[in-house]
Amino acid sequence: MKLTDSKEKLLSGPEIVVQTIYNQASMQYPPEAIISAVAAETTLPKTDIVQIGNTVFIGHKGKGKNKRKMVGRAFNADIGRNFVVNGFKYFTYLQKKKITHYTTTFEGSMFLNAFKIFQRRAKKQDTEIGIGRLKQSPNTYVVFIRLGKEPLAEGL
């Protein structure tokens, strides 16, 4: 997978999304169809899109009693250590938006090490992170985050 160090070259959001889609190991659909679907997704109400480094985070806020909850995912074209920093900055961004719960799923182990780092750091603060696997798809991971009030990006 081709990654670009955001400290050396900052990519545009669309470049990151397209590069990430084309670099996915296994796709059930043609890349062009996935790109079209993501483009349509970005226009949905309550969609939150933010770029940090060479990572684009897309999230969807809940409604009513779930208005402080978000489901999302990341499109990453950054190198590993930058992705970890980008993730901490994103979680702090969510804290500032008063999001209390965040859930994401991903396939393969590409993001797994980063979430284990997030989890270790969160144990030292008031954020809780649970990582699991789907029974029906053992290559798919689910992460549940209860965001505390202490900024996770502090001290990076």
Which residues are bridge partners to 132 per DSSP? 142
Please report, for the domain that includes residue 22, its CATH number.
3.40.630.30
The reply to whether 54 falls in a domain is yes
Q: What is the pTM of this model?
A: 0.92
- What sign has the CA pseudo-torsion 100, 78, 131, 59? positive
If you ran DSSP here, which 8-state letter would residue 10 be given? P
The reply to whether 115 falls in a domain is yes
User: Do the beta carbons of residue 54 and residue 82 sit within 8 Å?
Assistant: yes
Domain span at 100: 13-146
Lowest mean pLDDT among 32-36, 57-61, 75-79: 32-36
Tell me, what's the pLDDT at 138?
A: 83
